[in-house]
Amino acid sequence: MLRKLVAVSAALLIGLSGCGSGDDDDSSSSEGPVKLRFLSLAWQKESLTANRELVDKWNAEHPDIQVEYVQGDWNSVHDQLLTSFEGGDAPDIFQYESAAIGEFAKQGYLADLSSLVSSDLKGEISDGIWKTVTFDGKVAGVPFLLESQVVLANKKLLDAAGITVPAAGQSWTWDEFQANAQKLTKSGTYGVAWALKSPTNRVMNLSLNFDGKFFYTDGSKTEVKVGDAEKEIPRRIHDMIYVTKSASPDAVGMGGTDPLPGFFAGKYAMLPGGVFLRQQMVEQAPAGFEWVTLPPIKGLSANQAANPQTLSISEDSKGKKQAMQFVEYFLNPANMARLAQGDWLVPTGKKAGEELITSTGGKQGWDVAVASAGDLTIAPFQTVDGYPEWKTKYATPALQQYFANKITLDQLGTQLVDGGKQVLR
Amino acid sequence: MRASRLARTLQYGALAVYMVFLGFPLVWMLSTSFKPPREMVEIHPTLIPHNPTLDNYVAAFTEQELGRAALNSLQVSLSSAVLTVLVALPAAYALARFKTKLGTAALGWVLLSQLFPFVLLVIPLFLILRQVDLVNTHAGLILVYVVWALPFALWMLQGFVRNIPRELEEAAAVDGATRLQVLRRVVAPLLAPGVVATSLFAFISAWNEFFFALVLLKSPDLATLPVTLARFVGVEGIARLGPLAAGSLLATIPSLIFFAFLQRRLTSGSLAGAVKG
């Protein structure tokens, strides 16, 4: 029997030489169509379909610029890109996010798009968003999808408590939000579930509401400061859990989608989270469950940090101009609207937003989602080199302890500042 | 007698508990693969879906080319397993039977090579493979897997060789068998369980490997199963659980068949009483 197995595998091995080689020819240097490889990170069903159809359509209309669609995944894309840049075999065009491409841009792996982007596309996207992809004056990618923090709520519980749903653009203040959470808290139901397993990004994002910057740069020196502005958001969340008890202490250790079963079962009336959670509502909410999307909460402003998904072009690509042509096509208002809809995220382009409102009628929270794009901007933490290290080593453990009621707000502040001193030397 | 029966019962009890412990995730995956999206977020999840559906399987197959990925994986893993054993077998025999000063050093080196984390190796390896045009080919990937599995396979096999009493070979030689005959008639049959165990090891490590396959294979047509399945996982730990469970479940089937096929050979004990104490 073993002998048979050996024979079979030998046959397979011989077969390999025939079918095992992919095309690795050097696209544009010779005659014939320019070949471009596009690494996409789409993974939702609708967004996958949209991506594939757009690429197919492009290929049919542009016989001289052929794009190969390659699907990657979010968890391994960083290592994949890093090795392919080092090995000199990077995709021509790739999808990623602004927080991550700065590192690649600084190492010279990415083409500077500032002279390649058309004025049309440039004008569609706000300056605050362009800033998140600009490093040392070079544009490292085209931002196209945004995630904003909104609040999903159980409509029946809101109605029962006599709370009216605010319209898009009519945000509640934090005080109103906290008061309403209190009203919604009854036996067996908490007003809010704050899922705080990975608290740092969320606290950094929301702290912009009160102008909490955390990172302060003076000349070439950056340091972490935790003053009253920075303490607002942590204190308010902590109070809801431990002082007014309007937020569930069980949810503190949960990740983004973990509170969903409790939310659907009526254990939590409101669920702050990213706009993409709306998809889970559509797909997974039990029959008869009514949900609404509340606009982002506001403090001094409703500002939040923007970490847009991006399309970048490799410095080594032999068809940068052609790649940019494809990106321009891929992100024209109609296509960008379709991609945003497929991923349940907010498009960066103004016209794409309008188009999305028209095509969806603003339903399923699209009115709120599109309106929130105006509040998204660059935050200080996004430009700090040591941020990822500070976040993992110091900020996340400290915030977790604070939200578990194990340290005080002042201790939290000290730990964040001390961590900053270690990382930002 | 009664005590031993009790001990036996306890043994089987413990074994059963262990089997449940090992099997439960698989059963849960099976259950998830038949659940519609709504049932995955129930506050009291059930093992048996209320409204079982095949949608997840349909989605898994229509969105990703799982069939082709499975074939790719099978080809790569089988080839790696066979090549690994073919290379390791003679080397293991030589290491175990012929005493040279190099032998100990070689075994030490083999162990040492296991200490390198592969993230350190992947970029140099990529560059080398690129020079010989083996990037983006299954042949290149197989080469990497063989090299990767070889040290441990060698170590494993030489242990099996060592366990075969030298006296058996000597006895055969005394009876007039030539060296080749000794190897074929005496050593080979006794070594079969070792060969099976080693090829299982090489097969499984290639079957499950993700990172090299991701980095070395660029064309979607060549992708292996782990890389294809990873596409059902999205941002921030959110995954499309249904299709992922369906795909993963199907992905375990070929390796289960391979195991069933080989495990009958995995019996040792044929040496008992071969040499009189």
Structural domain boundaries of chain B? Answer: 1-53, 65-266
The answer to whether the Cβ–Cβ distance between B136 and A285 falls below 8 Å is: no
pLDDT digits (tens, 9 = 90+) for B26-35: 899 999 999 9
Domain layout of chain A by residue ranges: 28-147+307-348, 149-305+379-423
Contacts of B219 in chain A (CB under 8 A): 22-23, 70
In a 10 Å sphere around its CB, with 0-12 CB exposed, 13-18 middle and 19+ buried, how is residue B235 labelled? buried
Q: Is there a contact between B240 and B234 (Cβ–Cβ < 8 Å)?
A: yes
Residue A25 has pLDDT above 60, yes or no: no
Q: What is the mean pLDDT of chain A?
A: 89
Question: Closest partner residue to B230 among A2, A24, A75, by Cβ?
Answer: A75
Rounded CA gap, A18 and A10, in Å? 14
pLDDT at position B272 is 54
The answer to whether the Cβ–Cβ distance between B218 and A37 falls below 8 Å is: yes
Question: Could you say which of 3.40.630.10, 3.40.190.10, 3.10.129.10, 3.90.650.10 is the CATH number of the domain covering A28-147+307-348?
Answer: 3.40.190.10
Q: What is the ipTM of this complex?
A: 0.81
Rounded CA gap, B103 and B162, in Å? 13
pLDDT at position B2 is 61
Return the CATH fold of B65-266.
Answer: MetI-like fold (1.10.3720)
Question: Closest partner residue to B59 among A45, A73, A264, by Cβ?
Answer: A45
Q: Residue B103 CB: number of other CB atoms within 10 A? A: 15
| Cβ under 8 Å to B: A residues 245-274 | 255-257, 260-262, 264-265, 267
| Confidence class for position A369, pLDDT limits 50, 70, 90 | very high
Residue A20 has pLDDT above 90, yes or no: no
* pTM metric for this prediction: 0.84
Question: Closest partner residue to B78 among A12, A72, A267, by Cβ?
Answer: A12
| Confidence class for position A6, pLDDT limits 50, 70, 90 | very low
Question: Closest partner residue to B127 among A73, A79, A87, by Cβ?
Answer: A87
pLDDT at position B268 is 55
Residue A297 has pLDDT above 90, yes or no: yes
Chain centroid, CA B262 distance in Å: 12
> Would you say the CATH fold of A149-305+379-423 matches that of A28-147+307-348?
yes
**Consecutive 10-residue runs of chain B (277 residues): their mean pLDDT?**
81 93 91 90 87 91 89 94 94 84 79 76 86 92 92 89 87 87 86 89 91 90 92 82 91 83 66 58
pLDDT at position B270 is 56
Average pLDDT for A218-238: 93
Give how far A10 is from chain B: nearest CA, Å. Answer: 7
Rounded CA gap, B188 and B168, in Å? 12
Q: Is there a contact between B76 and B142 (Cβ–Cβ < 8 Å)?
A: yes
The answer to whether the Cβ–Cβ distance between A264 and B41 falls below 8 Å is: yes
Give how far A70 is from chain B: nearest CA, Å. Answer: 6
Tokens representing A138? 């070079």
Question: Could you say which of 3.30.1240.10, 3.30.1490.20, 3.40.1350.10, 3.40.190.10 is the CATH number of the domain covering A149-305+379-423?
Answer: 3.40.190.10
Question: Closest partner residue to B139 among A17, A260, A264, by Cβ?
Answer: A17
The answer to whether the Cβ–Cβ distance between A264 and B119 falls below 8 Å is: no
Rounded CA gap, B231 and B214, in Å? 11
Q: Which backbone phi and psi does A75 adopt, to 5 degrees?
A: -75, -30
pLDDT at position A333 is 95
Comparing A397 with B162, which gets the higher pLDDT? A397
Residue A194 has pLDDT above 80, yes or no: yes
Rounded CA gap, A370 and A47, in Å? 18
pLDDT at position A265 is 93
Tokens representing B105? 């050093």
The answer to whether the Cβ–Cβ distance between B138 and A20 falls below 8 Å is: yes
Interface test with B, best of A26, A43, A46 (most B CBs within 10 A): A43
Q: Residue A348 CB: number of other CB atoms within 10 A? A: 28
Q: What is the DSSP letter of A375?
A: G
